[in-house]
Chains A and B, each alone.
Chain A
Amino acid sequence: MAAIKAGRVLSLCRQFQKGLSISTVLPLQQTKVLTSCKAQLSAFRPKFCLLHINNMGTSLAQQCRALHTSQWRRGLEAFFDETPNWGEPTVKSGAPWTAKQLRTKSSEDLHKLWYVLLKEKNMLLTVEQEAKRQRVQMPSPERLRKIERSMKRLDTIVQERENALRLLQTGQERARPGTWRKDFFGRTFWYRFKEYPIPWYLNRRYKRKRFFTLKYVDSFIRRRIESHLHSKILKKKADLENKRKLQEKFSKLSATT
């Protein structure tokens, strides 16, 4: 029992330390957070460190003590803005990344940029939450929107590249498999496949789904088609009426001017 408990705490400590190891250091913070790390410097100035933690030979207490060193406290600074910006009503920020600029970057650079943007987003969300708590306006909320836009564009670029490669190698247009199916009400829809650990004939919940239509639904389907056609005709009539009214009102105007 004690051994199991100790084992659980041990794994917990290891997880915490793993969370600590992947961190980016902004250039203004000159402190060396982690020793013995593989630093990869890039144009975007974040540093990625992969720390290999050797847990052999160290006692449980020593490992958990590592949680409460200055390393842990220094990591939390990333959630806050730089000290000169505290209390300012506005903080100036540059333009967001455009898709055109992001398309020229390698996968490694995009991967690093994603995490830089993520950390900035977390910092801004902290600022936003704190502003809500203090019931004051958040300084420069457009920064958050810029970050979100940049991240969305980055995701788009990665998807584009993935799509291109997949089309080239397999000819599949979609990343996620799917098919056209009819539901119980006779409506045709695009059913997107899900990933399961068991085959469909063993999946009781999947077998309860009905992708077929019974005979007694036919009259309802016919009524639905009729109503759809009727609404199309009504829309066409409404458009013509609208056009006629606009012609009546504004061709007179253009005739006089």
Chain B
Amino acid sequence: MEGVVNLQLSSKSVGVFEAFYNSVKPIQLISSNIEVAKAGKIPGGKTEIPFEFPLHTKGNKVLYETYHGVFVNIQYSLRCDMRRSLLAKDLSRNCEFIVHCQPQKAKVAPTPVNFTITPDTLENTRERSLLPKFLIRGHLDATHCVISQPLTGEVVLENSDVPIKSIELQLVRVETCGCAEGYARDATEIQNIQIAEGDVCHGLSIPIYMVFPRLFTCPTLETTNFKVEFEVNVVIVLHDDHLITENFPLKLCRV
């Protein structure tokens, strides 16, 4: 049985941080070996051999939750090897298993986060004067989220000079790998969920609802060597393909 954190630098970061390329090596969280059957003959037919492993970490290491990301991967696996006589090939089989932390007892009181988007609230605009007028209001019920519960809220297109094409929720992972020498921080999309399509009715509250996908999300993680964080973007696509994005950092936990 083995539990490993694999860190990988993104291709765009490699050039910049080539100096410490070598320092990013897998972090072993847990590793254990047992013999489940002594040497001998296994009779014909189906034989089931029970086994168990205690999940004891190596030294002062912590078991993180299973997470499949781009630059950070936390995986636990079982490998079974069967050594055979000289003439036959050894057999081997690999199998991943999922680790979830014990839910914490704490209770999360949701704090709604309101937002209003108009041309004036936008940063990062070169052609503000070219933008059509619009007013979008909404809220997220919480940005401190329970991973097993959906992200919820609502968005209202109060008015807009031009029809909108789409409203989407973009779930983004922000992975940071690093050590004393420096770090690489990359944001990539996990999934994009459309919540409105076409010229939606003005003044109507459109629900924000997104289930956190399993495996690809885990409770927000911050260690000395790497970080896994999540953000959500509310993206409004105007008819002329203008993109308006409102970013909300999330904190995920398991309670």
| A pairs with B | no
